[in-house]
Amino acid sequence: TLLQMLQIHEKSLDLNLIPYGCISTGQNIGMIEIVRNATTIAAVQRSQGGTTGAFKNNALFEWLKSKCPLQEIHFKTVDKFVKSCAGYCAATYVLGIGDRHNDNIMITEDGIHWLLVFPFFFSVCLYLLPTPTQDTCTEAYLSLRAHSRLLVTLFSLMLLTGIPELSAAEDMRYLRVALQEEQSEADAREHFLQQISECEKLGWTVQANFWIHMVGGIK
């Protein structure tokens, strides 16, 4: 259902997302598509200054630049990065998914973020995004919110599947609040901007978390 949601998201607005192929072959067994030419954010940061790369705001920018010999291509790559990161930012906020760090966030050489098994958390997305990006993030959120009824229906069907993260009515209430289902678009926009404002305050804690994972070798 997560991948279905990303496909809906991508069709609504071109955000350069990669809803990779996934086939279930049994209980807790399946296959996922390999995304080529991708690396972890931690590896990128190490290449730009060792463990101290976690504190370099331009680490990703410089890495992407090194992959694109022509300036025009580099600008296109950064644009892809902004759009894909904004798309995942909106999607992971709506899903309430957390516990992501720089060793399980990945990026392709053409600037597109992708999900390994789980997406990364909202505050991390905002830290990684170049500025200004609020408009792109908000546009992605409102695009996803336009499909509120379909998304609520999809996740309601999953209540009896046994997934720990989606097993009670309270989980559905979170989804409805995140989508601001009963609010006007103007109110929903303000709600999302408030979330961005709160997460922007966590920038240094995200950097510290990245550094701890890099120094400790935590995967």
**At residue 117, does pLDDT exceed 60?**
no
pLDDT digits (tens, 9 = 90+) for 26-35: 877 888 888 8
Question: What pLDDT, on a 0 to 100 scale, did the predictor assign at position 83?
Answer: 84
More confident residue, 97 or 147: 147
More confident residue, 196 or 190: 190
In three state form, how does the secondary structure of 42-106 look? Answer: HHHHHHCCHHHHHHCCCHHHHHHHHHCCCHHHHHHHHHHHHHHHHHHHHHHHHHCCCCCCCCCCE
Question: What pLDDT, on a 0 to 100 scale, did the predictor assign at position 204?
Answer: 60
Question: What pLDDT, on a 0 to 100 scale, did the predictor assign at position 187?
Answer: 96
CATH number at residue 104: 1.10.1070.11
More confident residue, 64 or 200: 64
**At residue 116, does pLDDT exceed 50?**
no
Q: Would you say residue 170 lies in a domain? A: yes
Positive or negative: CA dihedral 213, 121, 123, 168: negative
Q: Would you say residue 219 lies in a domain? A: no
Listed residue (210, 212, 154, 147) closest to 181, CA to CA? 147
Q: How far is CA 108 from CA 26, 48, 73, 84, in A?
A: 30, 16, 14, 11
Question: How many independent structural domains does the chain possess?
Answer: 1
Q: Would you say residue 33 lies in a domain? A: yes
pLDDT digits (tens, 9 = 90+) for 122-139: 555 655 555 547 788 898
Residue 59: give the domain boundaries.
2-213
pLDDT digits (tens, 9 = 90+) for 153-192: 888 888 877 777 777 778 888 889 999 999 999 999 999 9
Q: Would you say residue 218 lies in a domain? A: no
Q: What angle do CA 43, 47, 49 make, to 5 degrees?
A: 120
pLDDT digits (tens, 9 = 90+) for 53-108: 777 777 888 888 888 877 777 888 888 888 888 888 888 888 877 666 777 788 88
